[in-house]
Amino acid sequence: MQVDLTNTPGIYYAISYWIYAQLYLSLNAKRTRGIKRSAIAVFALVFICSLMTMTHRVPVIFFIPLVLLDAFLIGLYIYVQADVSVTNAAYLCVKVYLLGEFAASLEWQLFYFGLTRMGVPLSMLSNLIFMPAVHSVVFAFAWFWEKKFGGDYRKLEVSGSWIAGVLIIAAATFAASNLSYVISDTPFTSRYPAEIFLIRTLFDLAGCALLSGFHLLHLQMEEELRARTLEQVIAQQRENYRLAEASVDLVNQKYHDLKHQIQILKNESASKDRQDALTRMEEEIEQFEVLRRTGNDALDTVLTSKSITCQKRQITMITVADGALLDFMDPLDVGALFGNALDNAIEAVERIGDPEQRLIRLNVSRQKGFARILVENRYEGELMLKDGYPVTSKEDARYHGFGVRSMEKTAEKYGGSFRLGTDDGWFRVSILLPIPQDRKTEDRDVARTS
């Protein structure tokens, strides 16, 4: 029986696509699990192998539509198995397709070289020796690269315009690598199988390399954008603290003046009704006056500002704080840290229908050589944590969570730890900051003196 060796059988490409789909599926969150996931994987392998075997020798006019169909099926398989967006599935599909093209082409080129130059017998057994060897090397290299340079695919956000660039790379690579099968008499093509295979393999390799570089560029741009956004958020938080500090000081000054004026009116008024009315006014004013009770002016400013917000929204905030423990921190960092934590807590509890359940607890205390900050708030419904961060319900999730990242960065600035968690209907922000050694010595000296 005469065997056509001038073209790689379609089933080899199908197997290759499926193998590298597993690579990228392993790097993303799962949409399916267990037996269902395995059944879908087996079905996908059998279906695409059958399809590409049956359509291996179709007329050239059907070639491009079948290529697009294959790509669509790969993308659909990735989308069904991985918990990713449509654009991310399309991007992963392109990566799988190019890597699968390269691996299948390389395997067939080496097999052909073995047949024509090394005297390898033409048999399925000899071919099966090349196939696992080549795929093992390519898979291992791709796995190493993705783990070291690929970044976290679970956080990768792919835009439509960026996908367009990726598709251009894929289309150009595929066209160049297969041009010899359409036009053989050009400076860039050949009519000899060995040269055709070499051209195809090299163009596929170039396409994979170009896409990898494009991926690294995208990650760098995303990281720079996140860093700039985070810096802007922190700067805005610091400015908000300055404004809150100025506002609280002004309000306290006005309320202090009003208290004196009310006291004068009470002394001058003889009517009991007027006395009672003035007393009620005095009590209402006192609840807005800042009490420097924590020992840290920055923390007092934030608590006063947020307390007013809580009162307006029928939120109960319980505070037990030794603010003096935070004296080693920049006041702007204190304001941004607690402002962020309380803003997030307020946003969460105001969604609760029952005002009795709108509770926030704040605690600042010493835990051995650390200042322990704990902010807790009630929440309704199901709260999911993904990669340590709350999953947002907002439509634009791309830049969500910078407030949390800002708190985390502040904790890291002072050599501390930052942790989020949930427990029995409470969402918890827990921060441990090491108290500097000179601060500990100062505390011991005060203790000995007293």
pLDDT at 407: 86
User: What are the backbone angles phi and psi of residue 372, rounded to the nearest 5°?
Assistant: -100, 125
pLDDT at 445: 46
* Rounded mean pLDDT for each run of 10 residues along the chain, 450 residues in total: 66 91 89 91 92 80 85 93 88 92 89 80 73 90 88 74 87 83 69 81 91 85 72 68 61 60 62 66 58 76 82 87 90 85 89 89 91 91 62 48 79 90 87 80 43
C-alpha torsion sign, points 23, 28, 29, 31:
negative
Every domain range in the chain assigned CATH 3.30.565.10: 290-449
Distance of CA 15 to the CA centre of its chain: 32
Tell me the two tokens of residue 285: 């004013």
Between the CA of residue 46 and those of 40, 49, 51, 336, what are the distances in Å? Answer: 10, 5, 9, 56
- Give this prediction's pTM: 0.63
How is residue 376 annotated by DSSP?
A: E
Between the CA of residue 68 and those of 62, 73, 167, 323, 327, what are the distances in Å? Answer: 10, 9, 12, 64, 64
Tell me the two tokens of residue 379: 């929440």
C-alpha torsion sign, points 132, 133, 135, 139:
positive
Do the beta carbons of residue 96 and residue 24 sit within 8 Å?
A: yes
What residues form DSSP beta bridges with 318?
A: 361
Q: How far apart are CA 400 and CA 379, in angstroms?
A: 19
Q: How far apart are CA 265 and CA 253, in angstroms?
A: 19
As a dihedral over the C-alpha atoms of residue 33, residue 39, residue 45, residue 49, rounded to 10 degrees, the angle is: -160
pLDDT at 247: 59
Four-way CATH pick for 290-449: 3.30.565.10, 3.40.50.720, 3.40.830.10, 3.40.190.10: 3.30.565.10
| Alpha carbons within 13 A on the beta-carbon side of 119 | 0
